[in-house]
Amino acid sequence: MEFKAKEIAEILGGTVEGNPEATVTSFARIESGKPGTICFFANPKYEHYVYECKADIIIVNRSFEPKESVSATMVRVDDAYAAVAALLDHVTAMKRSYKRYRGCRSRVRWSAKIGKKVYVGDFAYIGKKAEIGDYTKIYENVYVGDGARIGSRCIIYPGVRIYSGMIIGNDVIIHSNAVIGADGFGFAPLEDGTWKKIEHTGNVIIEDNVEIGANTCVDKSQMGSTVIRKGTKIDDLCMIAHNVEVGNNTVMAAQTGIAGSTKVGNHCVIAGQVGIAGHITIADNTTFGAQAGVLGSIKEEGKVFMGTPAIPYKDYLRSYAVFKKAGK
């Protein structure tokens, strides 16, 4: 890549403060910026790096008022964090090439429907009557079961397992070794103390623009569908149980587990190692701090919770102050 400051400003809808001809060829973190790189500044904790940074261009918020001189050319935008994400997308799109490829050691069943310029890597398997949309990449060692449907422009990384009958939307990214559509954890206790497996006959529906991290599992439903709504982002090592519904644009950090038949609202933020009990409902715009244990439904929107059992954030802080005193 090679961009001038004025070109970056045009792409991002920003304004240049400094040399519009300043040129960069790569990205760098603001604490390690060097000549020829572009950085961004969004977190106030990193402000001192703005004055020390050797990068040629720094993306900053329009509201930023430097307290010292800045040697780099600044590109001012409404939201620096969102802007750098958009610029990275732009650079990636420039590098991306779509071409039809089918590895000689892959197996695509004759009844499968494969779209335009689809990449199928070696040792990938695509089952009977499966459907793969245009420009999708199915990397090496991926399993796509019979009747599964994957939309256009998806990226399915090596080792992913997509069971029969699962439905994946457009522009979905699934990272290595994720499993989509395993049986839910459902067993009925019998009088002799053993457990009888309950068959799961449903599927998983993953809507458009979802990203699922490595080694994450999304179980199929007992009946009906487990659903991940549009725009949701799920980190590595998460567990989504059978019949769960996750709303639009919710984000979920690593090692979160959601038990069966729970409904999570839109625009929720779920930090790492959060555990959510089954058969409950989480309101829109709810935030859970790391390691929260959610035992009951959250009915009021826009609240923040911490602790186990999860309680409102301010209550948690007051309780923690008492715990600290009790331990002395």
**CA 138, 140, 145: angle at the middle one, nearest 5?**
60
Q: How far is CA 157 from the centre of its chain?
A: 14
Q: At what angle do helices 5-12 and 80-95 cross, to 10 degrees?
A: 100
How far is 64 from 67, CA to CA, in rounded Å?
A: 9
50 CB neighbour count, 10 Å cutoff: 22
Question: Is residue 242 flagged as an active site residue?
Answer: yes
Query: Strand 37-40 relative to strand 26-27: parallel, antiparallel, unpaired?
Result: parallel
Residue tagged 């659903």 (tokens): 227
How far is 207 from 19, CA to CA, in rounded Å?
A: 43
Sheet strands (E) in 202-316: 203-206, 211-212, 217-218, 225-228, 233-234, 239-240, 245-246, 251-252, 257-258, 263-264, 269-270, 275-276, 281-282, 287-288, 293-294, 304-306, 311-312
Do residues 230 and 249 touch, judged by C-beta distance below 8 A?
yes
How far is 217 from 23, CA to CA, in rounded Å?
A: 43
Do residues 219 and 240 touch, judged by C-beta distance below 8 A?
yes
- Give the H/E segment covering residue 91: helix 80-95
Element counts in the chain: helices (H) and strands (E): 4, 40
Catalytic-labelled residue, pool 48, 242, 267, 279: 242
Catalytic residues: 242
